[in-house]
Amino acid sequence: ACERARQWVGATLLLERMRQSGVRRNSESFAIAMRALSRSGKWRRALELFADMPSMGIAYDEKTFAAAMSACQQGNRQTMQWVREKMEDEGRESGRNADNDDELRR
C-alpha cells in the first residue's frame, strides 16, 4: 500500500520499525520501500537502501534489482551502470537491450 500511494516516509519507517522490533526484513520489504522512494522522486535514498542491503544480510534479487534500475531512470547513467555492475557481480543478467543502452548513452 505504501508503494502504490508513494508514501515513502511510511515505507522507510516500516523498515526501521521492523528492525527495531526484531522482525526479519527481506528483499521484498526493501524492494517495496525502494519503489515508494523512487516513485516519490527520492531515487538517491532508494539507491542508498539498495547499497546497504548486503551489510544488513539481505541478498539482492530480481525485485530489488528492478527497483534499483527504476530509481536509476530518475538518476543518471552512472548510477544505472553501477547497478548493472552489481547485477553482473551477482551473476545475473543485466537485462540489457537497445532501449537500456540508449539510456546509458544519454
Average pLDDT on 100-106 reads 46
pTM of the model: 0.67
**What's the one-letter identity of residue 15?**
L
Structure-model confidence comparison of residues 5 and 23, the more confident one: 23
CA dihedral angle for residue 57, residue 61, residue 63, residue 66, rounded to 10 degrees: 110
CA dihedral angle for residue 96, residue 98, residue 43, residue 2, rounded to 10 degrees: -80
pLDDT in tens, 39-92: 888 888 999 999 999 999 999 999 999 999 888 887 776 777 888 888 888 887
pLDDT for 95 equals 57
